[in-house]
Structure 1
Amino acid sequence: MSILKKALLLPPVLIAIAITMASAQNTKPPQAATDVKEKATPVKVIGVKAVTAVPFVSGYGKVQPDRTWDAVAQVAGPVVWTADKLRSGLLIPAGTSLLKIDEREYQLSLAQIDAQIEALNAKDETTKASLKIEERASLLLQDDLDRKKQLMAKGSASQAIVDTAERASLTQDAKVQTLVSTLKLNAAERKVLLQQKEIAALDLERTELKAPFDVRLNTVDISLGQYVNKGQQLFSGDGISVAEVVAQFPIGALSSLFNKPGETGSPLASLEAGSDGTSDRHDAIKAKVVLRTPRNDIVWDAKLDRVTAAMDPKTRTRGIVLTVSDPYGQATPGQRPPLVRDTAVEVILQGQPKKDKIAIPASAIRKGTVMVVDAEKRLHFKPVKVAYIQGDIAVLASGLEPNEKLVVSDLPAPVDGMLVGPKPDKALLERVMAEASGKAASKGTK
């Protein structure tokens, strides 16, 4: 039996299976790809640059006048005159008369003392005239006593006559001494009256109140015709020549400003040592006071003056006092306001420039390392040492060189050696450079 005949005798199901197996044997699987292309992970980078870094730190505080004037009545009496300028908010030049208390009582006291002194002078004149007479009489009685003593020595006079003459001489000496004592008492009384006159003249002068320095009036608690008592506060004012700002700073934040390279210890130690204004570190720090407004930032040049006596135990901060000279003279109506009491301002302290420093975003540092991209676009980790952190940037002491490409993207699972696709972030680099060089802190209108 031929093969064809045998095949025709097979059931149809078996024929279908045989055909399928033959087709499977003749079909070859596709060749697997042996070369898989590595995919680069896109990352943002900045080409680090050397910059002259200007360390700065900012704090906040309120403006206070460097000196205040609380006008207190030094004498009692009714107010008989007040100046038109005696109103809250007005600027008063030094020496301006603002208020007068009725001076008649003090004028009368002064006149009474003058009369007492005049009477005492007249008494002195009569006493001196009497003293001359009594001194002459004393000399005559002394001569008479001497003659009688001589006569008694010759036997021509008795002891009783001599005793009588001696008693008369002593009585006359007593009169002279009384007049001398009267003149001394008059001199002492005159001294007391002259002191009382000075006090009365001072009280008379105190009936008029004048501005001791250029001030801006705050509260006015007095009016015309009101009776004031000695020690009563009448009004108050703030000095306008110098404004002070007490800004709070964390102690550690000042290290980059006050400590020299390689220097350790509290940054405030050197600052406090120069609180008398003699420290060169005061002059080495540039200070600015900034008023933030919706339109722009207004900046005043300031001077580092001193450190407050105590630390705030809650915030662990220390107050640094800055002064701004002529805050009212620098004002421009409609553009630049004066620095008035209780104005909330920002204070920026700038240290000495540090050349050839590398500044990078602080967020690029993770556990003391950063990610860089090499020439073959491979990612690597590098340890860095931070000199100081300033806002959102970190200024490095070591670890990176200029022109290295620093990864600033936040990679979820970075692996050393992985292929990346770097994309420069020029805007971020400009912000880092501006903040590191202090330009960001110097913006504003002067």
Structure 2
Amino acid sequence: MKRSRILRLLPPLAVGLGIAAWLIAGSEPPVRVDGGVRSVTARTQIVEPRQVSPMLRGYGTVRPARSWQSVAEVAGAVTYRHPDLETGKIIPAGTRVLTIDPTRHEFALRQAEADLATLAAELNQLSVEAGNTDRILAIERERLDLAETDLERIRALVGRGAAPQSRLDEQERATLQLRRTVQELANTLDLLPVRQARLKAQIARAEAALDRAKRDLASTHIETPFAVRIGKVHVELHQFVTAGGALITADGIDRAEVTAQIPIEAFPRLVGAVTDGIDLETTDQEAVFARVDARLRLVSDQGQVWQGRVIRIENALDPQARSVPVVIGIEAPYEGAHPPMRLPLVPNMYVEVVLSGPPGPPEITVPANAVHDGDTVYLRDDQGLLSFRHIEIGWRQDGIVAVTAGLAPGDEVILDDIVPALPGLRVVPAKTTP
């Protein structure tokens, strides 16, 4: 049984082997291919020294350059409130926005004026009394001189026995009385300067009270010191306010400021470009930093751009971010506002600050994505083959790096990442950029 099955399988197997032998015998031999160099296509760039302006980026929050917090200097009821005194309203400089009841202070002013007039009249009266007393003293001194002369004559007569002693006594009493009168008048004149000094001191005190009354009266009118945008109003019409109570909080609209945190490692390059060896200790720093172009962009809308200027650098680094706080000033932040196409630069906006200085000396630069493993670039050599080169980087900025060593003008740098990157690989330039 088994033998018959084997015999039945032999004919098909013989036919299959015959067909395979016929196919092998009739086919052509494999083509021999010579091995060659593999090639890739990549973008390249011929490096040449060029001038690059230092450019730094930082971020910060907008704040007003000036704020106004109005506090009541006098107590009283609010008798007037400006109709536009509401949160968010813009009010011009010198606008009266609140009035506190001035009645009590008007009374105090009139009383101070009356007190001053009274003291002025007393001082004038004292001056008249001084003149009168001086004239009377002159008369009394003449009378005393006559009495002294009569006294000497009567004393001589009594000495010769020609006049009684009683007459001499009477003349001496009259002379002593005149001496007392003259002395009293002289004493009165001596005390006049003291009385005048006391009156002048009282007048000075009255004048101070008058000035205080005028100031208190002026303090009942609350005016905006500069153009402001109202933040919060703490009082209502007819409300009684006490001295020292908060009235209005507002922000100035003439200028805004942003403190941008600039990376400390990049900041010296910008400073060196604008100072050019100038000693900052003896130079107007604001004039030096006027050479820095400062632009602000709204982080949420890069199309919103404002021009600013560097006005100062704060005195300490940020202890956490290790960054330099640079203060940027923006004049007229509300000018040209046309929401939503053009927004005003209002407080608490988060903005990007871009600082750029004058171009420095020519340097070799390459795109940052052309640097591999931190310090290696791919080159296309004179034979068009891939090679590696180690470089030294001076600085990084906006997607480019400055090469201080490792590249020479005319070197062709490969911009794309080649995988796998094997030395000797043929590179076909896809695009050459100057």
| Range into which the TM-score falls when normalised by the shorter chain | 0.7 to 0.9
Match of 1:343 in 2: 349
What is the CA-CA distance between 1:408 and the residue it aligns to?
2.8
Aligned match of 1:164: 177
Is the 1:277–1:306 Cα contact (8 Å) retained in structure 2?
yes
Offset at residue 400 of structure 1 (A)? 3.3
8 A Cα contact 1:271 1:307, kept in partner: no
Counterpart Cα distance in 2 of 1:137 and 1:272: 74
CA distance in 1, matches of 2:328, 2:35: 66
Are residues 1:300 and 2:299 paired?
A: no
Give the aligned partner of residue 17 of structure 2.
none
**Per-residue displacement from partner, 1:425-446 (whole Å, max 9, x unpaired)?**
57xx6xxx9xxxxxxxxxxxxx
Task: State how 1:205-220 maps to structure 2 within 5 Å.
Answer: 205-220=218-233
Change (3 A) 1:299 1:179: same
Alignment of 1:100-139 (within 5 A): 100-139=99-138
CA contact (8 A) 1:275 1:305 kept: no
Aligned match of 1:250 in 260, 263, 275? 263
Instruction: Check the 8 A contact 1:74/1:206 in 2, yes or no.
Output: yes
Which one-letter code corresponds to 2:416 in the other structure? Answer: S
**CA offset at residue 214 of structure 1?**
0.9
| Contact in 1 for aligned 2:54/2:273 (Cα 8 Å) | no
Partner of residue 26, structure 2: none
TM-score, normalised via structure 1 length: 0.79
Three-state SS of the structure 2 residue aligned to 1:288 is strand
**SS of the residue 1:309 aligns to:** coil
Mark the CA change 1:69 to 1:31 in structure 2 (over 3 Å): closer, same or farther.
closer
Q: For residue 291 of structure 1, report the CA deviation from its aligned partner.
A: 1.1
Matched, 1:277 2:286: yes
The letter for the 2-side match of 1:408 is: L
Offset, 1:293: 3.7
Letter of the 2:286 partner, please give it.
G
The 5 Å alignment of 1:24-423 reads 35-48=34-47, 50-154=49-153, 155=155, 161-260=174-273, 276-278=285-287, 280=288, 282-294=289-301, 296-354=302-360, 356-365=362-371, 366-402=373-409, 404-411=411-418, 414-416=421-423, 418-423=424-429
Q: Which amino acid aligns with 1:105?
A: R
Q: 1:171 offset after TM fit, Å?
A: 1.7
- Segments of 5+ residues of structure 1 without an aligned counterpart are 1-29, 434-446
Q: Distance in 2 between matches of 1:31 and 1:66?
A: 84
8 Å CA contact retained: 2:308, 2:328: yes
Q: Distance in 1 between matches of 2:279 and 2:71?
A: 40
Please state whether the residue corresponding to 1:289 is helix, strand or coil: strand
Instruction: Render the CA deviation track for 1:302-339: whole Å, top value 9, x for unaligned.
Output: 11110112222111112100111111123234311111
C-alpha displacement at 1:144, in angstroms? 2.1
User: How big is each residue's C-alpha offset from its partner over 1:37-65, in whole Å with a ceiling of 9 and x where there is no partner?
Assistant: 23235544334455442221100001111
- Judge which range, 160-169 or 185-194, deviates more: 160-169
Mapped contact 1:43–1:420 kept (Cα < 8 A) = no
1:298 Cα shift?
Answer: 1.3
Name the aligned partner's letter for residue 101 of structure 1.
Answer: I
**Structure 1 stretch displaced more, 50-59 or 32-41:** 32-41
Look up the equivalent residue of 1:36 and give its one-letter code. Answer: G
Secondary structure at the residue paired with 1:388?
strand
In structure 2, stretches of 5+ residues that fail to align are 1-28, 157-167
* 1:285 positional shift: 1.3
Counterpart Cα distance in 1 of 2:245 and 2:279: 44
Q: Are 1:275 and 1:306, in contact at CA under 8 Å, matched by a contact in 2?
A: no
Partners of 1:332 and 1:31 in 2: CA distance: 77
What SS class does the counterpart of residue 316 from structure 2 fall into? strand
Deviation at 1:242, TM superposition (A): 1.0
Give me the whole-angstrom Cα distance separating, in 2, the residues matched to 1:251 and 1:218: 35
Taking the aligned partners of 2:113 and 2:267, their CA distance within structure 1 comes to: 65
Partner of 2:15: none
Q: 1:165: Cα distance to partner? A: 2.5
Separation (CA, whole Å) in 2 of partners of 1:270 and 1:420: 53
Residues 1-40 of structure 1: pairs in structure 2 closer than 5 A: 35-40=34-39
Equivalent-residue separation in structure 1 for 2:123 and 2:30 (angstroms): 142
Residue deviations 1:353-384 (CA, integer Å, cap 9, x gap)? 24644331223224533220023221222343
Amino acid at match of 1:348: V
- Cα 1:188–1:52, aligned 2, differ >3 Å: closer, same or farther? same
**1:386–1:397 Cα contact (<8 Å) kept:** yes
Provide the rounded CA distance (Å) in 1 between the counterparts of 2:35 and 2:119.
125
Change (3 A) 1:130 1:52: closer
Q: CA deviation at 1:386?
A: 2.6
Change (3 A) 1:270 1:340: farther
